[in-house]
Amino acid sequence: MLSRMNDVHDLRLLLDSHVGLLVVESVEEPRVIDLFGRLLVHERRSLYLWSCTDGLSLHPGLARKPVHTDPDAVLKEIKAMTSPAVFLLLDFHPFLEDPIRVRLLKDIALRREHVPHTVVLVSHRVEVPPELRPYAARFHVSLPGTAKLEQIVREEARAWSRHHDRKVAADRATLAMLVHNLSGLTEADARRLARAAIWDDGAITAADLPNVVRAKQRLLDQGGAVAFEFDTARFADVGGLAGLKRWLGLRREAFFTPDEGLDPPRGVLLVGVQGGGKSLAAKATAGAWDLPLLRLDVGGLYNKFFGQTEQNLREALATAELMAPCVLWVDEIEKAVSDDAGNDGGTSRRLLGHLLTWMNERKEAVFIVATANEIDRLPPELIRKGRLDEIFFVDLPDAAVRAEIFDIHLRKRGLAVDAFDLEALADATDGFSGAEIEQAVVSARYLAREAGAELTQAHVIDEVTRTQPLSVVMAEKVEWLRQWAAERTVPAN
């Protein structure tokens, strides 16, 4: 209930300031209409609704008629009205590309001192033209809080009980976990997921929680810069990285149940040789901690429109907070915060500033795993101590780890590991990365199939001798990277 009261209070302040243009981005159109209706019911300002299908009508109480369905006509009608009113234009965003309509909206905003109209653009997303930005404000409808979510779950439980004439089986702890997993969703989506969990078997159990999390991930995955990774590895599937594994193991409990004497872990930066296992380590961190994994695609952040890139980052970080507790994997972070050419109009610097501010001030349990290949492009503000807990260097695997990696990939493909000399394979792949070892096993299976035989040690050795690893092809760069990391990072292996 508190979030609803805050919405009414904040919206009243905006309307009392006589803002000319208000933008509300929300998929809960009925809730937005209801919010304005409840706020203005005792006000002297009338509330009008418009859509391209139903036209303009007074809300509530009058039947809708197809009057002024044309966007130009409705703006001219609003401009001509002399009684102060609030106009909700539903899904008007496709019509904002026309310069005449932009000018009409500007005219209405400029006349607000004489006739304090407020035009409200309601849609899932609205890109405000530059000409209108000085006159526009944004209002965000809050998501339901814990109390409201619990009320929704209990309402659905009572509905099931009335239908089946018995109570829903549940305990307090599982109910609390279900409510927590519904956080970040709209009321409609939360109700639908709660209903699915209850009506499946008339009980709220631990078995329902993974299904709710997966459904929540699908709802929040709207094709933006953040993608959900459903295939998270376990550290048992990752060769080496003993130092990183130990570090994470020591901090797992503090992440979930912060202790007054221990600061909860915030994140790590993984740098190293390409193919060394940084990406797999990010996935394995989420798997080991049983957390959802979100991957931030830094390339997907950039947009040609001014300010949209930063908005994409804000939305991505907001999604991560909604999924908390979770792991946020920022892959190749240097591509987002490095402006080598200095010709991106300051976008990279603004991204870096917003990211650093969020890293310092975030309250939700979001553990960052950032990976980087080109560490010379990383700004010093990011890699200094305090932004992240530690910087790990993922080096090429030594002989023992290479043998472990061969063991993992042979078993993964259903092969008898006893038929292979792992130590000999490890000796033959000196300088190989984990990715190159895996590819050697994959390619060797094709050689065996071509020969019509079972995969043997000879097939793998044959493929290894055909391969020039990255440590040879780019020997100078790999050596420079190792020297840089020697005094600045902690070994992950």
24-42 tens-digit pLDDT:
988 889 889 988 988 887 7
Fold held by 2-138:
Rossmann fold (3.40.50)
Residue in this structure with the two tokens 């503000």, named with its chain if needed: 381
pLDDT value for 1: 42
Q: How far apart are CA 408 and CA 237, in angstroms?
A: 6
Token output for 217: 């991930």
Matching CATH topology for 2-138 and 229-394? yes
- pTM for this one? 0.69
Token output for 58: 């007074």
Residue in this structure with the two tokens 């904040």, named with its chain if needed: 10
58 C-beta neighbours (distance < 10 Å), count: 12
42 C-beta neighbours (distance < 10 Å), count: 6
In order of 94, 244, 280, the CA distances from 422 in angstroms are 62, 24, 22
By C-alpha distance, which of 244, 161, 149 is closest to 194?
Answer: 149
pLDDT value for 2: 42
Strand order in the sheet with 390-394: 226-229, 293-296, 326-330, 366-372, 267-272, 390-394, 490-491
Chain-centre distance of CA 435, in angstroms? Answer: 27
- In tens, the pLDDT along 222-251 reads 556 777 776 677 776 777 888 888 999 998
- In tens, the pLDDT along 418-469 reads 999 999 999 999 999 888 999 999 999 998 999 899 999 999 999 999 999 9
- In tens, the pLDDT along 88-117 reads 999 999 999 999 999 999 999 988 777 788
pLDDT value for 281: 85
Any idea where the domains of the chain sit in the sequence? 2-138, 146-220, 229-394, 399-473
- In tens, the pLDDT along 121-170 reads 999 888 899 899 999 998 988 878 888 888 999 999 999 998 888 888 88
pLDDT value for 219: 75
Angle made by CA atoms 480, 484, 485, in degrees to the nearest 5: 120
For the chain, the average pLDDT equals 84
In order of 114, 327, 372, the CA distances from 229 in angstroms are 54, 10, 19
Question: Domain 399-473 is of which CATH architecture?
Answer: Orthogonal Bundle (1.10)
CATH of 229-394 given 3.40.50.300, 3.40.50.410, 3.40.190.10, 3.30.43.10: 3.40.50.300
